[in-house]
Structure 1
């Protein structure tokens, strides 16, 4: 059995990919990592990640392109704000028997691949408090005609999830997307999320043995960078509400730049093995739409955060 990590990136997000890989390799020098190119502008980031971290490019680029185009066309070419996010669905058909998908706007604080040990009991894992914020960025209230409130506690953030190769077939993907396209009223795309609503629907509908790792016997730590109650411990963080160290930190919906939440953590991992530039671009809060998203998300997640 093989285990590995998938990421998506292009040259524009080289810095984020380096920070993520530096954090992964701080705790784990062995687990293979495969890059799924976000678009055709990926050669510089691929070269850097291969050279420094042994990251390999997904070996069937034609399949990624075909899969992405067909999934996009089911909804219509202009429906999604960021249709290339669906390229990550190639995870189901790559080289790893058990895999973790992880967004590049994340850094980890442990040997994160060990979290896949729970796949001995489950077929799909997530690890976040997306469900605590209500339906926003995933579903609309119309989804209650499909899933019960109890089932909807299984909602998750699309930036971190783990599963098994070929658990879903390529046809399963096409069938699910067609079902979703027939009912766009179920989904919340108001803040330009693309893949998260669809993959949530697919997992809730098709995977019974699923588990959210933060809902274990001991309530797990949060991981969203918009949370203000994390306490810094060196270049790691402690969730003071549950008195546990974070497994990872995710800047979902937050532009990573000087002045953003937990900037020092990200900056540490980005420049872990090279000199930090003398000057870095300064943020402009008055022009930064991501700050509005942070306020919205804090209101949505106030029950937990």
Structure 2
């Protein structure tokens, strides 16, 4: 069985609902979706997906523990044991344990804009399929000034194989215990120093590249006139019938990268904060409950200027996630 995977907790609830609703519209309400828990704060999610029979929370604790243990050693931040603590971004790696034979992983802060059939079809030829432009910023994956980097990976691989961990397609069973042990041995032997700071994205790229698993990126292979962007930082997308187009080509997905969940929470709590493609987000967030969509009364603030902490407090109080003291 094939399916869609994402990673979430209650902190990104509004973004998650928007993603799930976009899946309903674009891929169909029967599309299986597995949510990997970022942490234990998932009660709002559990309540929401109780009415979505196609969506379920991943609960294989053995798998979760396995990847927690792996990340504790794999992250370069783990070299500073006194300050390092694990967080849940890497739990998207549980997709390599199941439940889908083939999967497309999407971050919770994305919207599906088009069929993903062409992504799944390419998995017949490759074990990893992506569509993004992270390769233009290798310094967010590897320490590009590290002497050791070019001893491990050829320059051409660094320029072509790097991808964003927010959207990728792959398969179950690619990283069995023996392969992970080999990766950890290399990392312990000094290769952790080539990874950019912390987080799942450098580790995921290293896992594929060090294992010699080819990565197919549509951004490298599509004709130039067919390639689309995917980030909200691109302001030229055109909307038609709640779908975005890039110079006439329909986007595959829209990634709200750089928009903090604090902003989404505050907007959904009624704060008038502008951010790129906000109306599209609100449309999908309130697709099944349009009567709850906020109506803004005050002048808008730009999301870069908004006092996020105060807005977040209001949002959390509204949903009784913190005491109103």
TM over 0.5: yes
Instruction: Give the conservation status (yes or no) of the 8 Å contact 2:10–2:45.
Output: yes
Q: Deviations over 1:86-106 (max 9, x none)?
A: 111111011211111110000
Q: By how many angstroms is 1:84 displaced?
A: 1.1
Residue 253 of structure 2 is aligned to residue 248 of structure 1: yes
Residue number in structure 1 paired with 2:56: 56
Instruction: Give the conservation status (yes or no) of the 8 Å contact 2:67–2:91.
Output: yes
Residue 246 of structure 2 is aligned to residue 231 of structure 1: no
The count of corresponding residues between Structure 1 and Structure 2 is 282
Provide runs of 4+ in structure 1 moved above 6 Å.
none
Q: By how many angstroms is 1:285 displaced?
A: 2.6
Q: By how many angstroms is 1:272 displaced?
A: 1.0
1:19/1:177 CA distance change after superposition, 3 Å:
farther
Q: By how many angstroms is 1:138 displaced?
A: 0.7
Q: Which entry has the higher C-alpha Rg, 1 or 2? A: 2
1:268/1:78 CA distance change after superposition, 3 Å:
farther
Compute the TM-score of the two structures, normalised by the length of structure 1: 0.83
Q: By how many angstroms is 1:239 displaced?
A: 1.4
Q: Deviations over 1:56-81 (max 9, x none)?
A: 12241243134213421455366667
Distance (Å, rounded) in 2 between the aligned partners of 1:42 and 1:188: 29
Instruction: Give the conservation status (yes or no) of the 8 Å contact 2:68–2:86.
Output: no
1:229/1:282 CA distance change after superposition, 3 Å:
closer
Aligned-partner SS, 2:34:
strand
Residue 124 of structure 2 is aligned to residue 107 of structure 1: no
Superposition RMSD in Å: 2.5
Q: By how many angstroms is 1:16 displaced?
A: 0.7
1:148/1:263 CA distance change after superposition, 3 Å:
same
1:205/1:238 CA distance change after superposition, 3 Å:
same
Q: Structure 1: which 5+ runs fail to align?
A: 290-305
For residue 184 of structure 1, the aligned residue among 192, 196, 205 is 192
Residues 1-305 of structure 1: matches in 2 within 5 Å? 2-27=1-26, 28-52=28-52, 54-75=54-75, 76=78, 83-132=87-136, 134-141=137-144, 142=146, 143-152=149-158, 153-181=160-188, 182-189=190-197, 194-219=199-224, 220-240=227-247, 243-255=248-260, 256-257=263-264, 258-274=273-289, 275=291, 276-279=293-296, 285-286=304-305
Compute the TM-score of the two structures, normalised by the length of structure 2: 0.79
